[in-house]
A and B are shown apart, each in its own frame.
Chain A
Amino acid sequence: MSNKGNSKSKLLSLLTGIAGFAFVVVLTFLGLLAITFFIGRVVPIDPVLSVVGDRATQEQYDAARIAMGLDQPLWRQFLTYVADVARGDFGMSISTNRPVAEDLARVFPATLEMATLGIIIGVVLGVPTGVWAAAKQGTWVDQIIRVFALLGYSVPAFWLGLVGLAVFYAGLGWVAGPGRVDIYYEGLVDPISGVLLIDALLIGDTEVFWNALSHLVLPSLILGFFSLAYIARMTRSFMLDQLGQEFITTARVKGVSEWKVIWSHGFKPIRVPLITVIGLSYAALLEGSVMIETVFSWPGIGNYLTHALLNADMNAVLGATLVIGAVFIFINKISDVLYRVLDPRSKS
Chain B
Amino acid sequence: MTTIDWLLADSPTSRLQANAGRAYRMLRALMRNPLAVIGGIIILTLIFAAAFAPWIAPESPLGQNLEARLLPPSADHWMGTDELGRDIFSRVVYGARITLVIVALVALISAPLGLIIGAVAGYFGGWTDKVLMGLTDVFLSMPKLILALAFVAALGPGIENAIIAIAITAWPAYARIARAETLTFRNSEFIAATRLLGASHSRIIVQHVLPLCTSSMIIRVTLDMAGIILTAAGLGFLGLGAQPPLPEWGAMISRGRTFILDQWWVATMPGFAIILVSLGFCFLGDGLRDVLDPKQGGKS
Contact = CB atoms under 8 A, between A and B. Distances in A.
A328 B138 contact: no
A154 B153 contact: no
A314 B153 contact: yes
A31 B226 contact: no
Interface residues of B, number: 50
Contacts of B227: 153
- If over half of A's interface residues share one DSSP class (helix, strand or loop), that class is named, otherwise mixed; here it is helix
A43 B271 CA distance: 32
Interface residues of A, number: 59
Nearest to A310: B239
Interface in B193-252: 226-227, 230, 233-234, 237-240, 250
A237 B151 contact: no
Nearest to B168: A35
A328 B143 contact: yes
Given A154-B278, A312-B153, A159 B253 contact: yes
Interface in A1-58: 24, 27-28, 31-32, 35-36, 39-40, 43-44
A283 B141 CA distance: 10
A155 B138 contact: no
Contact of A154 (B141, B253, B282): B282
B6 interface: no
Interface centre among A35, A159, A170 (most CB of B within 10 A): A159
Interface string B259-300: 011001001100100110011001100100000000001111
Interface in A313-348: 314, 317-318, 320-321, 324-325, 328-329, 332-333
Contacts of B264: 166
Contacts of B239: 310
B35 interface: yes
A305 interface: yes
Contact of B250 (A44, A150, A156, A288): A156
B175 interface: no
Contact of B141 (A28, A157, A237, A294): A28
A79 interface: no
A325 B142 contact: yes
Given A156-B233, A290-B145, A309-B240, A39 B151 contact: yes
Interface of A: 24, 27-28, 31-32, 35-36, 39-40, 43-44, 143, 146-147, 150-151, 153-159, 162-163, 165-166, 170, 233-234, 236-237, 240, 283-284, 286-288, 290-291, 294-295, 305-306, 308-310, 312, 314, 317-318, 320-321, 324-325, 328-329, 332-333
17 contacts: A28-B137, A43-B155, A146-B35, A147-B35, A156-B230, A157-B230, A159-B274, A163-B268, A166-B264, A233-B298, A240-B298, A287-B144, A288-B145, A291-B145, A294-B237, A306-B238, A325-B146
Query: Which 6 residue pairs are nearest across A and B when measured between Cβ atoms?
Result: A31-B138, A154-B278, A159-B271, A43-B154, A237-B298, A287-B143
